[in-house]
Structure 1
């Protein structure tokens, strides 16, 4: 059954490093707002300490997590074993969005390969780690990363990316302005 931990143990960190995908969950303050769940691929997650992780957030069709985290900080990251021994791991915590040009960006961005379309870093102060069995999760085999987003972003100029962010990433579907929206509008 599920076990709770106050932070990441070395075996948790080893499990995370083996995963090719993780999921990010967030929600606005409003009970009528949309709960968001986003898959994240590529090598974008970094473990900074037993109680802090960060991921490089790439351009997407929306920017819900950024809006929710700016509004209330609540965020959950979930990792699932699709290969090997079964396990599900959730990291519960408070997030913050770090934009290019901020002092913290200068500190954290060198820890990542800055992939095309990188728009922000989401850092998470982890308050609890929960593991559960994952016995019903099916096996899936990893075949590789999709390069579609990177090819798309490489085909855009900086001005074209900023225009896309203004049109698609500045405001959440519930009308909450994202941190990115505050600087590009």
Structure 2
């Protein structure tokens, strides 16, 4: 899916087996070439539902970060299902509400916190949503570069790299290639000022 494109399908993401969850990045681009990472979608999520409901072009570009499976639902079939199932409309509204809450929180964080704390807040939230236990901590569950983490919190690459280094030096996280392990979730949560 490409930002601005008009297509007539909704994508439902699902895992390809138990070891390969679906994962896509939702990226918005500006005319000047700048990009922001709006969010991460995983197995069980829908992508493209707003364009189908509003009959508009895509609001973002979607890029796969794993080789999970995708079910393509024609727009008419998707909307027909919703119309026949009021509970599905309520679930969709709840999902969209969760995404709006996430976006609003990012804007609040951008206004009220420095980069290191914004990044810590996102890492805590991603670990809670997508993470899984590993030896010595919690794997974030999604493969992101430090630059992509920066794009999630509205920070330049250099600022994001510095913030990751600070969190790593404090012992709250460990990093590898496109991988973050939260080594001290309690300490990181306290630093991030995230209420549980």
Larger radius of gyration: 2
TM-score w.r.t. the length of structure 1 is 0.28
* Bigger fraction of residues in strand: 1
Higher relative CO (Cα under 8 Å, sequence separation at least 6) belongs to 1
Higher helix share: 2
TM-score (norm 2): 0.27
